[in-house]
């Protein structure tokens, strides 16, 4: 059935749809344009019968008999109302035989839409100067049907009003074409599409035909919801509420529809107008893509009978199903492309994350052993040193130097020396935890420190390390001899002296380590306001 013909809101008092204002402020045009239009006799007008119907729609006291009497004064309009009510699209067993029955079947909004559309189309049929009236009304009809279809799909309260707004949103073009003579004709010929036309109108006169149309609708006394809807009909979709969005999307979609129906212009291309519009509509309106395409396919069957009833020449036929199917295929291809781009972006983000992690690793870790390097150790120790002072916590440190490492390098080469360092790093890594931090300080020197623990815990850690070193092979020579090494270690605690910073703590442990070396290597010495050598086990 012609969608707008369904029963809609029954009276003028129904709440306006979302996006429509109830502001009664008188619309004002820019001065220069107001002077040109003013009381120009060339302005579009409505037949007296239609004006009476409009007045009734705004009257709180109007009843069904009043509408019937007003419509029956215009025989042509009466025939169209009856024809619409009895069309093959209606699922009624008995036909409507009177105008009153037809209005009851259609509803006030749909009846008003037919009256306005038929009245305007018939009045303007021979009045155009530069405007292609056939194209104008075809675009208006497709826009009206599309507005209604979208409003119905979204379950909005007044789809009939959406039809009316879709039909009337460009009536300002009729006024400009009638009153500006050659100026508007030249402007029309200088632009390629509707959006460019609105921009050119703003540049030339300080407003576009949407405001002119709203001004004209207010002058006719149309309901304020229609005036507001026409004024807002060319705003971007993201600037209006959902009800108005149906109307604002319908105009460009109608233009794309007519472009596809032009000769040799319905082959699928990457910049297909309908595809572009569907890409915008689906996320903006929140309508399922397949459902939207199915609804639009149905418009091709609805257009001819509706155009005849509205006294509008029917838009040229084209294979709407094929075109919309091609648009759907392009949309799916576009979605796949976007999905691939999203995947590529995620992969790139992951690559950058890994690269950042690698850079962080390189900045903070020793490349040979994989342990923290000296710079990071010093920064980390300084942080824990300050926290220990501020919070009154303990902090201890073990400074480690591998014994006879230079001789090992001289005898077996630096490659084996590197293997020993890596083997020792693996041994240290077994001891590291949240409570034991450490790394390579430089060369064959390593540092372990224990936040929150005192010298006794550090001594036990050093002893454990010595015991594991005594039994652990760190490398193997080319002739398969196991290499084990010992280490001299110095232990210091934060309470052992009045240390100023973490560097002082390291130097104290270093001093204790040298005492251990001089005592015979493979030993542990503790710093305590000087150095006190602790009893040690000889390394194995």
Strand partners, 531: 527
Is residue 533 part of the annotated active site? The answer reads: no
Looking at residue 26, the DSSP 8-state letter turns out to be P
Round to whole Å and give the CA distance between 35 and 409.
100
Other Cβ atoms less than 10 A from the Cβ of 361: the count is 11
> Which single residue is written with the structure tokens 């409507």?
96
Round to whole Å and give the CA distance between 522 and 135.
99
> Which single residue is written with the structure tokens 């000889």?
538
CB under 8 Å to 120, separation ≥6 — which residues? 44, 46, 168, 171, 174
User: 497, exposed or middle or buried, with CB in 10 Å at 0-12, 13-18, 19+?
Assistant: middle
Backbone φ and ψ for 487, nearest 5 degrees, come out as -145, 145
What is the distance of C-alpha 464 from the center of its chain?
A: 58
Round to whole Å and give the CA distance between 292 and 277.
11
CB 375 within 8 A of CB 506: no
Six token digits for residue 148: 């209604």
User: Pick from 283, 284, 282: which is nearest to 242 by CA?
Assistant: 284
CB 214 within 8 A of CB 230: yes
CB 163 within 8 A of CB 2: no
> Which single residue is written with the structure tokens 């931090």?
437
SS3 483: strand
The DSSP-derived string for 292-345 is HHHHHHHHHHHHHHHHHHTT-PPPPP--HHHHHHHHHHHHHHHHHHHHHHHHHH
CB 522 within 8 A of CB 403: yes
Angle subtended at Cα 7 by Cα 5 and Cα 9, rounded to the nearest 5 degrees: 120
Looking at residue 96, the DSSP 8-state letter turns out to be -
User: How far is residue 282 from each of residues 193, 397, 527, measured CA to CA in Å?
Assistant: 22, 65, 75
Cα dihedral: 331, 334, 335, 340 (round 10):
160
User: Pick from 210, 8, 220, 231: which is nearest to 119 by CA?
Assistant: 220
6, 201, 255, 444: which one is catalytic? 444
List residues with catalytic annotation: 444
């Amino acid at each position: 059935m012609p969608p707008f013909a369904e029963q809609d809101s029954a009276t003028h008092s129904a709440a306006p749809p979302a996006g429509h204002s109830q502001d009664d402020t008188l619309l004002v045009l820019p001065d220069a344009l107001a002077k040109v239009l003013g009381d120009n006799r060339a302005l579009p007008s409505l037949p007296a019968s239609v004006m009476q119907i409009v007045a009734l729609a705004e009257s709180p006291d109007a009843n069904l008999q009043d509408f019937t009497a007003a419509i029956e004064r215009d025989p042509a309009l009466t025939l169209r109302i009856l024809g619409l009510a009895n069309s093959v699209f209606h699922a009624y067993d008995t036909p409507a035989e009177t105008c009153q029955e037809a209005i009851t079947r259609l509803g006030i909004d749909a009846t008003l839409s037919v009256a306005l559309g038929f009245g305007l189309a018939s009045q303007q049929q021979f009045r155009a100067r530069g405007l292609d009236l056939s194209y104008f009304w075809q675009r208006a009809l497709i826009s009206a049907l599309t507005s209604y279809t979208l409003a119905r799909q979204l379950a909005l309260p007044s789809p009939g009003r959406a039809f009316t707004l879709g039909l009337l949103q460009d009536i300002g073009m009729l006024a400009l074409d009638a009153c500006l003579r050659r100026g508007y004709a030249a402007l029309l010929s200088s632009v390629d599409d509707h959006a460019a036309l609105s921009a050119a109108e703003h540049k030339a006169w300080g407003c576009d035909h949407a405001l002119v149309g709203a001004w004209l609708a207010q002058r006719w006394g149309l309901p304020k919801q229609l005036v507001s809807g026409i004024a807002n009909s060319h705003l971007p979709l993201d600037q209006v509420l959902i009800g108005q969005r149906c109307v604002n999307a319908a105009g460009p979609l109608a233009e794309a529809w007519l472009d596809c129906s032009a000769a040799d212009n319905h082959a699928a291309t990457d910049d297909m107008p309908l595809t572009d519009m569907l890409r915008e509509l689906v996320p903006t309106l929140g309508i399922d893509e397949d459902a939207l395409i199915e609804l639009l396919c149905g418009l091709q069957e609805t257009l001819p009978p509706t155009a005849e009833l509205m006294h509008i020449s029917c838009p040229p036929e084209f294979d709407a199903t094929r075109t919309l199917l091609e648009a759907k295929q392009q949309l799916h291809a576009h979605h796949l492309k976007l999905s691939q781009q999203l995947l590529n972006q995620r992969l790139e983000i992951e690559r950058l994350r890994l690269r950042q992690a690698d850079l962080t690793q390189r900045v903070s870790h020793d490349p040979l052993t994989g342990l923290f390097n000296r710079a990071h150790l010093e920064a980390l120790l300084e942080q824990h040193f300050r926290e220990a002072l501020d919070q009154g916590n303990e902090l201890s440190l073990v400074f480690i130097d591998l014994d006879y490492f230079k001789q090992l390098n001289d005898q077996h080469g630096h490659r084996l020396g590197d293997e020993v360092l890596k083997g020792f790093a693996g041994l240290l890594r077994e001891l590291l935890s949240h409570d034991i931090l450490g790394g390579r300080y430089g060369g064959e020197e390593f540092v372990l420190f224990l936040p929150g623990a005192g010298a006794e815990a550090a001594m036990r850690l050093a002893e454990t390390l010595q015991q594991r070193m005594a039994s652990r092979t760190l490398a193997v020579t080319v002739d398969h001899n196991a290499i084990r090494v010992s280490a001299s270690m110095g232990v210091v605690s934060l309470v052992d002296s009045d240390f100023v910073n973490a560097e002082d703590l390291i130097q104290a442990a270093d001093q204790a380590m040298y005492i251990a070396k001089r005592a015979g290597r493979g030993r542990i010495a503790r710093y305590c306001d000087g150095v006190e050598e602790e009893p040690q086990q000889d390394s194995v």
